Amino acid sequence: MNEFVELMTTRRSIRKFQPKMINNAELDQVLYAGLFAASGMGRQPCYFIAVRDPETRHLLSSMNARILGQPSIDPFYGAPVVVVVFADTASPTYLYDGSLAIGNMMNAAHAVGLGSCWIHRAKEEFETQTGKMLLQEWGLPETVEGIGHLILGYPAEDEHPEAAPRREDHVVFLMEKKQFPALVDVLTEDSVVFHGTATDKPGAIREAGQIVVDLKCVGDEYIDSMLKREADFSTYLGNGVSVAHGTVWGRKRIRKTGVGLVRFPEGIDFDGEKATLVFAVAGVGDDHMDLVQQISVAALNDSVVQALNEAEDYDAVKAALKNLRLYK
């Protein structure tokens, strides 16, 4: 692994420090890294106040603790140095720029053997009268806003936090488009039900999911995966259309690509919205999300949705979905 990438992956937020003060050379390197953080249009709207003075540090700690609602604690975890990061609100990207600067400095701190942690509530601190007085004393513009505190120090001997497992399903690769199956070709005569019998959302999802189960695309467990996804995030697209599909775990068990469609003329309540068309998607590999996208396009097309709601047979459904080829 690249040395710099490895450095970033081994950095941890430290919440227990040795009492001794860090040296100037280490602090300078951390601040220098902050100065070179990316900023919108290169505006460099950030200001850093490096607090080594125990009295000022105690004042900031007390202010922060009161805002936190726990006045008896030290929100800075005993770290000897606090770098307060501000950014000028005159820059439209000030919040992101300040955040990037803190991120740069956290990685730099780890590189030089220091521990660090981002502590919030800087915005609220410097909206108080005491905070405004400090801004004036430090010569900062009135237009700055507190982004955060970066606490710095040598990690305590027994402070070696383990990294939480990374969420691999939070990375999505959108590769160069291949030839995906068109929805109109995947939705067969056997996968359309014109009069659903379910009366509620879980029942509608189960009924649509049963189609792809019957088509041997997935096993029964996929329906539970669809319900789990719905509990985490609504699959209602709008315009009376829902596209139920499984979680990442469920999608790994798809055997072949298939789509089911159940029409509910009276509508099914999807958390206050009425769904008349409930799709169930089970796509192998990249087919899955492409079919979801095709159905999303259909939901945006009033004429397609109307035609699907009025279709009396499979040929009418197929004719309605042929319009989607215009978007491919």
d(CA 164, CA 223): 30
Q: Cα 131 to chain center, whole Å?
A: 32
Q: Position of tokens 């430290």?
A: 14
Average confidence (pLDDT) over 221-231 = 92
Given a cut of 90, whether residue 196 has pLDDT beyond it is yes
pLDDT at 80: 98
Q: Using pLDDT thresholds of 50, 70 and 90, give the confidence band for residue 178.
A: low
Domain boundaries, the chain: 3-153, 183-327
Q: Using pLDDT thresholds of 50, 70 and 90, give the confidence band for residue 328.
A: very low
pLDDT per residue over 95-138, tens digit each?
Answer: 999 999 999 999 999 999 999 999 999 999 999 999 999 999 99
- Known active-site residue 245: yes
Strand, coil or helix: 88: strand
The chain-wide mean pLDDT, for the chain, equals 93
Considering only residues 199 and 172, tell me which one the structure prediction assigns the higher pLDDT: 199
d(CA 213, CA 235): 19
Average confidence (pLDDT) over 187-210 = 95
What residues have CB less than 8 Å from 19, skipping those under 6 apart? 78, 80
Q: Using pLDDT thresholds of 50, 70 and 90, give the confidence band for residue 324.
A: low
Q: Which of 112-121, 149-158, 173-182, 217-226 has the lowest mean pLDDT?
A: 173-182
From the options 3.90.1150.10, 3.40.109.10, 3.40.50.1820, 3.30.110.40, give the CATH code of 3-153: 3.40.109.10
Strand, coil or helix: 233: coil
H/E run at residue 153: strand 144-153
pTM over 0.85: no
Given a cut of 70, whether residue 315 has pLDDT beyond it is yes
Q: Using pLDDT thresholds of 50, 70 and 90, give the confidence band for residue 323.
A: low
pLDDT per residue over 265-279, tens digit each?
Answer: 999 999 899 999 999
**Residue in 110, 149, 245, 288 annotated catalytic:** 245
- Here the tokens at position 120 are 């919030």
- CATH fold of 183-327: Mannitol-specific EII; Chain A (3.40.930)
pLDDT at 314: 95
Q: Are the C-beta atoms of 148 and 85 separated by less than 8 Å?
A: yes
pLDDT per residue over 201-212, tens digit each?
Answer: 999 999 999 999
Q: Are the C-beta atoms of 287 and 248 separated by less than 8 Å?
A: no
Given a cut of 50, whether residue 5 has pLDDT beyond it is yes
H/E run at residue 97: helix 94-111
3-state DSSP percent of the chain in helix, strand and coil, to 5: 45, 20, 35
pLDDT at 175: 62
